[in-house]
Amino acid sequence: MTDKMSIIAFSGTEDKLMAAAIIASGAVANDLEVQIFVTFWGLTRTIKNDKTPPDLSFDGQKMKDKVFALMKQKKVPNWITMLKNAKEVGNIKVYGCAMFADLLEMKKEDLDPIVDDIIGVNEFVSLSKDSMTFFI
Amino acid sequence: MEEKIKPTKIIDARGSFCPGPLMELIKAYKSAKLNDIISVYSTDSGTKRDASAWIKKSNNELIGVFEHEGYYEIVMKKTKG
């Protein structure tokens, strides 16, 4: 039985990143090791001091104002806080995609400390062997 | 809950959303000692099932789920180190 979960966080919208953080939380609750590969728009949401406001994916656009207002009112933590909490419970590693980081000329120190390292696709795929894998 | 069961630790996760209360419970479980009783207060309905399932699956004892006004309480005993 697989005891690892791999998540490729490609999208940079808050809803999809929250989904990734929630699934990762469920995984560590079940003693799975988790590795998250943040790439493309997911990676852009880990850039330190980036003040771009969070957005929702296409399906959520019509409800955007309502959803963000409710989340604020109900004090729902953002995806990075959620992931930090899950990291305290189990083994979660967050890897930035080397290719996209290079393109944006970003180094590890330019990213939120939630990112443990920057690695290439080859290493991530090799770490993902025998794991259940999600692309979000 | 019944008065004779005294929790070693109470986690008040009311107002916190899935998976917050479960994550709080697991954190408390990890720092607890064997036979400690941990109680979680939650207003999130998903947690009732999720936390109960986690307690059973991790081979700990689910003492019970108690309904209170506006929230419920899940009580477990740490029976596995």
The CATH code of the domain that includes B60 is 3.30.110.40
Chain B residues with CB inside 8 Å of A75's CB?
A: 15
CB within 8 Å: A89 and B26: yes
Predicted confidence (pLDDT) per residue in A51-61, tens digit: 999 999 999 99
Position A87, amino acid:
K
Residues of B with CB under 8 A from a CB of A: 15, 17-20, 22-23, 26-27, 30, 50, 54, 57
- Please give the pLDDT value at position B3: 56
Q: What is the DSSP secondary-structure string of A24-72? A: HHHHHHTT-EEEEEE-HHHHHTTBTT--PPP---GGGGGGHHHHHHHHH
**CATH T-level topology, domain A4-135:** Hypothetical Protein Ychn; Chain: A, (3.40.1260)
Q: In this predicted complex, what is the ipTM?
A: 0.79
In the residue annotation, B18 being an active-site residue is answered as yes
> In this structure, is residue B62 part of a structural domain?
yes
Domain that holds residue B58: 9-77
Domain count, chain B: 1
Q: How many CB atoms lie within 10 A of CB B11?
A: 19
In a domain, B1, yes or no: no
Q: Quick check: A77 and B20 CB within 8 A?
A: yes
Q: Is the pLDDT of residue A97 over 70?
A: yes
| Cα-based angle A20, A3, B63 (whole degrees, multiple of 5) | 85
